């Protein structure tokens, strides 16, 4: 079978990682990437020898890119001519405008969490609702926080059935290098319920969810504590075994040194993972406990890389590469080295 052809539009924090993710999928081909300006990410790509073809989404800026030593293969239109599907990872809100271009071409697209839900036919999570994305033209991924949260809740839901969750999200305010958020020193509290709880209910309508969101002035990883009400009682050993068996969840121990939002990032760097990326979320083992029948535990979500696996799943669903969730996530996991 020939490989499906994928283009990535918007080569920022997420787009870089999606491009790398596509390259790792043995049944997909990255045709190229598109961006509008000579960003640091594009300068780094050029310095690395231009492993990906760059198409300029604003042709007026081609001379500026070339002056910065960034080779340009063509315009974004040239990229769109060649692909079966676009991963749109542009700045939040730009995807909606780009959708008009994709629609005119009859081209499928996957959008990221910063877009409004109505940009897509389906609000998508590879593990929780893969089948809903089958054959759909426009899919939108859950945000990084919600992707990690749903992974963990879906894992328990398939094990024992979950009726309700209450979550507290400690959210990193900015990605490393994001100076536009300013120099901050506060923990910003939002009204309940947070968008992650509302989004979880859209993807998993059988679960009642609410929760609190607190923004904190850090750049690496969200921390989420989750109180989940199971439909029948379950032991800590069973919860732990389910998390341990999940290819996109890593169980870590605070006593081993995984005691902060940055531990996972540092560990990923020590593993030699490109950019210090970690596709898995982490469950802190010592946080798993019970309040009555309710399961209480805490996870860490590496915000920059976590959506990559579910975005690969979205390509598989939209292009009907695999008919079932089990087959699709298994392919994505295999190619990303997730065991």
Alpha helices in the chain (DSSP H): 13-24, 40-47, 62-67, 76-82, 94-105, 126-129, 144-160, 195-203, 236-245, 263-271, 307-318, 325-336
Confirm or reject binding of residue 56 to ligand NAD (CB under 6 A): no
Confirm or reject binding of residue 33 to ligand NAD (CB under 6 A): no
- Please identify which of the residues 144, 209, 213, 321 carries the catalytic annotation: 144
> Least distance (Å) from ligand NAD to the CB of residue 299?
15
Nearest 10 degrees: CA dihedral of 23, 147, 35, 136?
80
Confirm or reject binding of residue 264 to ligand NAD (CB under 6 A): no
Token pair for residue 249? 């969840």
Q: Which residues pair with 29 in a beta bridge?
A: 5
Asked if residue 185 belongs to a known ligand binding site, the reply is no
Distance of CA 317 to the CA centre of its chain: 16
144 is a catalytic site residue? yes
Residues 97-136 contacting ligand NAD, CB under 6 A: 112-115
Confirm or reject binding of residue 307 to ligand NAD (CB under 6 A): yes
Q: Contact at 8 Å (CB) between 46 and 71?
A: yes
Q: Can you tell me which of 19, 22, 28, 34 binds ligand NAD, judged by CB under 6 A?
A: 34
Confirm or reject binding of residue 7 to ligand NAD (CB under 6 A): no
Residue whose Cβ sits closest to ligand NAD:
12
Segment contacting ligand NAD by CB under 6 A, of 28-36, 44-52, 310-318, 319-327: 28-36
Segment contacting ligand NAD by CB under 6 A, of 83-91, 117-125, 156-164, 213-221: 83-91
Token pair for residue 38? 């000579």
Q: Contact at 8 Å (CB) between 80 and 103?
A: no
Q: Can you tell me which of 7, 20, 22, 35 binds ligand NAD, judged by CB under 6 A?
A: 35
Pairing of strands 281-284, 294-301: antiparallel
Residues 157-196 contacting ligand NAD, CB under 6 A: 175
Local structure of 54: helix, strand or coil: strand
> Least distance (Å) from ligand NAD to the CB of residue 171?
10
DSSP 170: E
Closer to ligand NAD by CB, 64 or 91: give it.
91
Judged by the rule CB under 6 A, the positions of this chain that interact with ligand NAD are 9-15, 34-37, 39, 57, 89-92, 94, 112-115, 143-144, 175, 303-304, 307
């Amino acid at each position: 079978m020939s490989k499906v052809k994928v283009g990535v539009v918007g080569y920022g924090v997420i787009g870089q990682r999606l491009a790398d993710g596509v390259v790792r999928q043995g049944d997909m081909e990255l045709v190229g990437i598109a961006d509008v300006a000579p960003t640091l990410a594009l300068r780094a790509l050029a310095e690395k020898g231009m492993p990906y073809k760059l198409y300029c989404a604003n042709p007026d800026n081609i001379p500026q890119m070339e002056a910065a030593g960034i080779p340009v293969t063509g315009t974004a239109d040239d990229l769109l001519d060649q692909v079966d599907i676009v991963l749109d990872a542009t700045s939040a809100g730009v995807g909606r405008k780009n959708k008009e271009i994709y629609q005119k071409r009859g081209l499928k697209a996957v959008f990221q969490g910063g877009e409004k839900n109505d940009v897509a036919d389906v609000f998508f999570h590879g593990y929780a609702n893969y089948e809903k994305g089958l054959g759909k033209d426009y899919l939108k991924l859950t945000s990084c926080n919600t992707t990690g949260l749903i992974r963990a809740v879906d894992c328990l839901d398939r094990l024992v059935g979950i009726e309700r969750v209450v979550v507290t999200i400690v959210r990193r305010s900015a990605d490393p290098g994001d100076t536009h958020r300013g120099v901050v020193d506060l923990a910003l509290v939002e009204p309940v319920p947070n968008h992650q709880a509302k989004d979880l209910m859209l993807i998993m309508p059988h679960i009642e969810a609410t929760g609190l969101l607190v923004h904190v002035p850090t750049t690496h990883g969200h921390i989420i504590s989750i109180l989940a009400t199971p439909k029948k009682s379950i032991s800590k050993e069973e919860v732990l075994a389910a998390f341990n068996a999940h290819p996109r969840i890593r169980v870590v121990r605070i006593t081993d040194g995984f005691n902060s939002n940055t531990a996972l990032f540092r560990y990923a760097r020590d593993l030699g993972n490109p950019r210090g990326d970690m596709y898995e979320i982490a469950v802190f083992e010592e946080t798993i406990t019970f309040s009555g029948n309710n399961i209480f535990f805490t996870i860490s979500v590496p915000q920059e890389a976590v959506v990559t696996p579910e975005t690969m799943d979205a390509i598989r669903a939209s292009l009907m590469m695999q008919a079932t969730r089990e087959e699709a996530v298994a392919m994505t996991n295999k190619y990303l080295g997730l065991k």
